[in-house]
């Protein structure tokens, strides 16, 4: 848990928020939470490669159709 306290009574709320946001960024907590936001089933390297190849082929076909004016 990240805690930030006022340095003195005169410190503005904006400064306090800025220091808090900086600490959150430096801790890497936000990136970790975003990474774990959606669960993905672990898949094998072979499946990942085959899916990537399929994606590339579909993209190439789509671009080819666009260039030919069929889409």
What is the reported pLDDT for 3? 84
Q: Is-contact 64 70, C-beta < 8 A?
A: no
**How far is the C-alpha of 14 from the C-alpha of 32, rounded, in Å?**
25
What is the reported pLDDT for 51? 96
What is the reported pLDDT for 2? 82
**How far is the C-alpha of 42 from the C-alpha of 32, rounded, in Å?**
17
What is the reported pLDDT for 69? 92
pLDDT in tens, the chain (71 residues): 888 888 888 889 899 999 999 999 999 988 889 988 988 889 999 999 999 999 999 999 999 999 999 87
């Amino acid at each position: 848990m990240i805690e930030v306290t006022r340095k003195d009574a005169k410190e503005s709320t904006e400064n306090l928020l800025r220091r808090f946001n900086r600490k959150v960024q430096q801790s890497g907590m936000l990136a970790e939470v975003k990474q774990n936001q959606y669960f993905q089933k672990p898949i094998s390297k072979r499946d990942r490669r085959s899916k990537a190849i399929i994606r590339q082929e579909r993209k190439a076909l789509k671009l080819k159709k666009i260039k030919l004016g069929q889409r």
